[in-house]
Structure 1
């Protein structure tokens, strides 16, 4: 089954709100074996929404809409769908009772409910009403024969918390009850140290020999490339065995650059290594402003191996808290191999940890010079026996420079922890 997702709202088109709903829906549908063929964003314009409904119903058997179901004047989805499917608006008594319960018991508003909120109990009589346990706007399920095929249209609130509840508690159970979906199996490898084109060159013969029901996707980002094998079929165990066999062949071809054979972030890889080695880590950060520590502590249980961080943004703090010598800062500068090496030593000493990571550089947009332009960043990682430093010369904006530096610093830490000799990330 193919699906289309239509997100509704001017705020999405102008970038005021980031669309996280589509990603969640696509992820959940992928688990079922539903292929999301298209994602479309439209504004609060009736003609544009109708055109999207027409077009996506030609493309897919399932069309999901999010947004435009609130109580304000710009929430036009419900009356539009009523007209589109030829219904009439009626009050659903169950929705009315739920709204009354929410306002009196949950929201603690015993005064009369505003008329605009009461109107949320009105639904097209041609829709199956989906109970929204998390809010006042109900979901709606429509079916229509379009172009000789039956198409399901589901309208959900745009509020992510409410949308997620309706999708998992109402929509997916109904889909599973009425349809049998093919299985989709993924395996993802995480590589670093080689660009996408070079990885693809290594896998040229492997990719050409893949069965028709299995595809390979390249997902590059921040100095690494994820490789996702995807298979689709009706025999789950057979499909899983085939994917695992092919995945093993693929990773064997990339053995020197594979960081993980799971779809996981670098900070989880680091956490597992530290746990296995029963070691601890700390960070000493300048240009990343604590972002390396933030990534590490995103993993549940990181308190078992993460000691703390010193964000030494000024030279004074580098001297006072990390014991970087004034002479090193004067002769080599804060952005130098010598400084980040000293920062690692200081963090090891001050935070009493087994490993430490340090960053110092010019993230931009200002602060660069002819000798050290914006994007010049030094990173270091090590323990009391060995410290490795690396120069990054980045070309992105400030935010991306910080993100890339964080990724590269953790990749460098991994190499140090594994005792890998070369400095390639």
Structure 2
């Protein structure tokens, strides 16, 4: 089963806001066996929206639309749904009363006519009641494709998705199981990893997909598969992951959702009875925050300091002014000197 997510709003296309809705919807759909085929962001333009709906209808089984359901003139999603489904407006009494109650409760005034118009909904739509806002969601069908419209406001969308949309998808669609497992590695680039495991990768079963997810200093390896038998699926993916984990045992630190590099560092320090301190600058305490999230951090973490200003690196840590002038304050020699002197101050092993 495939789905497409369409986010509507000029503010997304000009970079004024970040589209977090698509990421959230994708994660939630994946949990119930719905594979996202495409994510599309489009402008507040009638012809563009209608074309996007038509294109999506020919690609997928389910289309989730967010944005453009508000009370202002640039909110035209509902109008486009009326035209796309060849429908007419009807007034929904439950939505109308909800709008009036919200304005009385939170603003102590009557809603404007533009707000009351949000109770005008397509006659063919199944209305998804929005307890947190004035714009209801809509569930409509055309040519065996389901279209769902939700508000673009993230907390309203999340509420509707959890309480109304996902249960209705589960009720109306037969869905496969989707399973992912991700290995965390540090200290080797993706091309070197790919070279090392190339033989194993070439022999992966066709229904198991390997993805490389590189970032600075680390690479995540994700195995994904889908099928009707969930336990068989898990056994196959877990078996392949066990093989590649052994092949990368020198750089693997665990699995996403089960462990983290911070936890692994803590475990190793405790096993070796060693201690750690931190001297930070441009990270501004971010590393210390990560370390102290670990429940057993007090067993190995001594403390930290943030000498952000250059003169504090000299006066507090005792880093040589000549070293800074020679290599610049942002350099490996200066960083090494800061670490060495921080270790002495906190009397830590590392």
TM-score higher than 0.5: yes
The answer on whether the counterparts of 1:92 and 1:123 sit within 8 Å (CA) in structure 2 is yes
Worse-superposed segment, 23-32 or 191-200 = 191-200
Deviation per CA, 1:74-104: give whole Å up to 9, x if none: 0000111112112211221111222222222
**What is the Cα deviation at residue 176 of structure 1?**
1.0
User: Counterpart of 2:310?
Assistant: 315
Specify the SS of the correspondent of 1:59. coil
Question: Residues 287 and 110 (structure 1 numbering): CA distance in 2 closer, same or farther, change over 3 Å?
Answer: closer
Structure 1 pair 294–38 and aligned structure 2 pair: CA distance change class (3 A): same
2:4–2:64 contact (8 Å) kept in structure 1? yes
Give the counterpart of 2:117 among 116, 119, 134. Answer: 119
Give the Cα separation in 2 of the matches to 1:276 and 1:165.
44
Identify unmatched segments of 5+ residues in structure 1. Answer: 355-382, 388-425
Structure 2 unmatched runs, 5+? none
Task: Please state how far the C-alpha of 1:37 moved relative to its aligned partner.
Answer: 0.4
Q: Is the 8 A contact 2:67 2:152 kept in 1?
A: yes
Q: 1:86 to 1:223 in 2, by over 3 A?
A: same
- In structure 1, what is the Cα distance between the partners aligned to 2:270 and 2:100? 51
| Alignment match, 2:22 | 22
Contact kept, 8 Å, 2:180 with 2:224, in 1: the verdict is yes
Aligned residues: 348
Residues 302 and 320 (structure 1 numbering): CA distance in 2 closer, same or farther, change over 3 Å?
farther
Cα distance in 2, alignment partners of residues 185 and 287 from structure 1: 38
Structure 1 residues 309 and 89 mapped into 2: Cα distance closer, same or farther (>3 Å)? farther
Q: For residues 134-283 of structure 1, what are the structure 2 equivalents within 5 Å? A: 134-145=132-143, 150-263=144-257, 266-270=261-265, 281-283=276-278
Q: Judging changes above 3 Å, is the alpha-carbon distance between structure 1 residues 78 and 270 closer, same or farther for their aligned structure 2 residues?
A: farther
Quick check: 71-80 or 87-96, which moved more?
87-96
Q: What SS class does the counterpart of residue 68 from structure 2 fall into?
A: coil
Matches of 1:187 and 1:50 in 2, distance apart? 38
Displacement of 1:112 after TM fit?
1.5
On the 8 A contact 2:46/2:76 being kept in 1, the answer is yes
SS for the counterpart of 1:98 is helix
Residue 288 of structure 1 corresponds to 283
Give 1:46 shift: 0.5
Cα distance in structure 1, aligned partners of 2:263 and 2:120? 47
CA contact (8 A) 2:130 2:136 kept: yes
- CA 1:336 to 1:73, structure 2 compared with 1: closer, same or farther past 3 Å? closer
Question: 3-state DSSP class of the match of 2:316?
Answer: helix
Kept after mapping to 1: 8 A contact 2:262/2:294: no
Q: Tell me how far apart the structure 2 counterparts of residues 307 and 19 of structure 1 sit (CA, whole Å).
A: 40
Taking CA–CA contacts closer than 8 Å with sequence separation of 6 or more, which of the two structures ends up with the larger relative contact order? 2
Q: Does 1:103 align with 2:103?
A: yes
Calculate the aligned-residue CA RMSD, in Å.
2.5
CA separation of 1:141 and 1:233: change in aligned 2, threshold 3 A: same
Question: Aligned to 1:219, what secondary structure does the other structure show?
Answer: strand
Question: 1:101-122 CA deviation, whole Å, 9 max, x = no partner?
Answer: 22222x2x11221121121121
Task: Tell me, in whole angstroms, the C-alpha distance in 2 between the residues paired with 1:51 and 1:273.
Answer: 56
Residue of structure 2 aligned with 1:129, choices 127, 130, 154? 127
8 Å CA contact retained: 1:321, 1:346: no
Q: State whether residues 68 and 158 of structure 1, in contact with CA within 8 Å, keep that contact through their aligned partners in structure 2.
A: yes
